Amino acid sequence: MFHRIGKIFVLATGALLLAAVAHAQPASTSGSTDPQLKAAVNGSWRSAAHKERDRYRHPIKTLEFFGIQPNMTVIELDAGDGWYTEILAPYLYAHGHLIEPTVPSGASSYARRSAKTFNAKLKSDPKVYGHVERGLPFAPPKQVKLGPDNSADMVVTFRNVHDFLNAQALDAVFKAAYNVLKPGGVFGITDHRARPNTDARVVARELHRIPEDYVINAGLKAGFRLAGTSEINANPQDPEDILVFRLLPALSGPASEHAKMKAIGESDRMTIKFVKP
């Protein structure tokens, strides 16, 4: 399978990238799970359809790989319909802070429609979302500042980095994440993985994927240290050369291919942890 991270590292160019990989740490294998995080994932407010995605997205393992703690200040970028917000909001409710950037009126019609649905979700259950804080307007590439410098413990974004590249804003968003994080703060990323050594801009635009080595290089360029990569969200059944929306959960292709796409599951995904020195 082309996605294997060791193969990516061999193929990736640049001495700086190779040096960073040499110092990267693997995911924790302790097997212990934060009971508060487990309770948030199992919460009754999460729909059956969203819980069905857990077996592909591994939220507990992913967030524990990033090193999340319930007293952190966490910024979530481009939350979409709030799949991860349903977990982050209750987990950080009592002792932490979850900040969700707002969508300005000048954003795209798609972004504004998504924001309307997301805002309705936040208002729907104060016991779950009542402590979610709204952040600065976020609309790459024009508006990317995430808050005061050195003010957050963690920035996370799930399946969005290819969109930042499509908006010609990837470097700006990564630098904004670097600036808002405290020293030692974590930038946690998952995204649809493309085959290594493919043209990042082409596959981002046409397949909604991005090569892992490209993302790692962007993080290093922004000033981050690569703290680790994980295969938590890998899917070796994904050929990595098809539009991700043909796979679950969207199944946007013809009905004749749905059974095949369901057998594959969701897309093969990279999971990357950067740390601000």
The per-residue pLDDT for range 175-224, each reduced to its tens digit, is: 999 999 999 999 999 999 999 999 999 999 999 999 999 999 999 999 99
pLDDT at residue number 163? 98
pLDDT single digits (tens) 214-268: 999 999 999 999 999 999 999 999 999 999 999 999 999 999 999 999 999 999 9
- The answer for 94, left when phi > 0, alpha when psi is -120 to 50, beta otherwise, is alpha
Nearest to 24 by CA among 8, 36, 37: 8
As given in the structure block, the two tokens for residue 36 are 């508060």
Q: How many other C-beta atoms can be found within 10 angstroms of the C-beta atom of residue 195? A: 20
Contact 98, 89 (CB under 8 A): yes
pLDDT at residue number 251? 98
Between the two ends of the chain, the Cα-to-Cα distance in Å is 33
Task: Report the range of poorest mean pLDDT among 3-7, 52-56, 86-90.
Answer: 3-7
Is residue 21 over pLDDT 60?
no
pLDDT single digits (tens) 111-122: 999 999 999 999
pLDDT single digits (tens) 128-178: 999 999 999 999 999 999 999 999 999 999 999 999 999 999 999 999 999
> Strands 225-230 and 269-275, how do they pair?
antiparallel
pLDDT at residue number 31? 57
DSSP secondary structure, 178-195, as one string: HHHEEEEEEEEEEEEEEP
* Residues 65-93, mean pLDDT to the nearest whole number: 98
pLDDT at residue number 2? 41
Is residue 29 over pLDDT 90?
no
Q: What are the backbone dihedrals phi and psi of residue 37, each rounded to the nearest 5 degrees, phi first?
A: -70, -40
